[in-house]
A and B are shown apart, each in its own frame.
Chain A
Amino acid sequence: MDKLKRVLIYVFLSVLAFVSIFPFLWMIISATNKSADVTQGRLLPGGQLIENVKMLFNTVDIVPALLNSAKISISTTILSMLIASLAGYGFEIYRSKAKDVVFTILLLSMMIPFAAIMVPLFQMFGKISQTVPFIGLDTLSGVVLPTFTTAFLIFFFRQNTKMFPRELLEAGRIDGLNEISLFFRIFVPTMKTTYAAAGIITFMSSWNNYLWPLIVLQSPEKRTVPMLISNLGSSYTPDYGIIMTAIVISTIPTALVFFLMQKHFVAGMTGSVK
């Protein structure tokens, strides 16, 4: 009986693992095949990869899209981590009743669906365009500006700050550091794991963001990777080999970030749930 249960558990988990991995395998295999082979359901790797990559770079504007996405995600990640960690640290280390009230109000913003504010945000950036064109509509900064501060990340940093040993701050004060240097010279280096987890979450969601860039960016040369893939995917005469190659390339940055920092990610998440 017990043995049967064990076997069933392994079978169940293996099926789930297969279902989870299969679309990835199919995407990678398809990137090495001709479009016609993909439609026929070929499940073996072919020799078309280099041809597909060449065609992709020659016929589709993937390079500008990758650059746009990289610029947006990297600046979003840096700004996000700075603002959210300063705030999370401020809320926890300099705790006061008034700040706790403000914190609760900030958390309420997590309940605001993006769909509910996209129209006013669009109008707002339309107005900004008229006075400061470089952060308004159809600019990469316009994509970054309203998305980099999230209550979730502030909450995340505050939760993790709870585990930060405050004695370090006292020691720093005795050494004559002011409050700002305490943050940058003691808190930041100590909390590397938290920053890594926060960085992964932010980079991934920024790299994958679709709706807001779709609203803000209008010129084709400013398109991000998800916008490009969505366009390729809705084409009436799709070349599956090329599209799959584009999807593989677009997944590499997030997959890489995740696998390089997986340990930090799990540790950071555990910290935030505690």
Chain B
Amino acid sequence: MKNEFQVIADLIEKDKKVLDVGCADGTLMKFLKDNKNINIRGLEISKEKVQECIAKGLTVIEGNAEKDLKQFPDKSFDYVVLSQTLQAFLNPELVLDELLRVGKKAIVTIPNFGYWKVRFHLLFKGTMPITKTLPDEWYNTPNLHMCTIKDFFHFVKSKDIKIFKSLALNNLNSSIINESNLGVKNLFADLGIFLIEK
């Protein structure tokens, strides 16, 4: 399991009810179910991935987060997880609002466009950056709204969303992000993980 999932799992206490939005093949769901006795649900757009989840015995709903989150009642999950997908929605702000409506808390991770390798790629090669967390070409990337850790940090603050914990992830190392080290973390982390609440 990737390090990102381990960090997410560490943020969630045992026996909670969790919705994994864009749960893919259910790797994180399976881990949470087996190791933390989590009552876990998934929402996934790909038919193929939904089948993989069913084969793992996971409860998953085929659907689109931009349209299908609205069917869940307010605060019906302890946590709602959204891993590296926010930037791929047509309207990320709306999805973020929905995550925070449905979940008591939300865990959102974003690939950081402020990461030094991304900056160097654009600066020196002059072409759209391709990194481990951003593997696609400009013409086939699902990402519509790339942002940096700093962008996201300021965005949630401006929306009066409470940040419980924000973590910068670089390979295997995770570290706390705060107002004072934001610039540095924005340069050296390729992934940001935010535990938020509204």
Q: Are A and B associated in one complex?
A: no
Q: Which residues of B contact A (CB under 8 A)?
A: none
Q: Which residues of A contact B (CB under 8 A)?
A: none
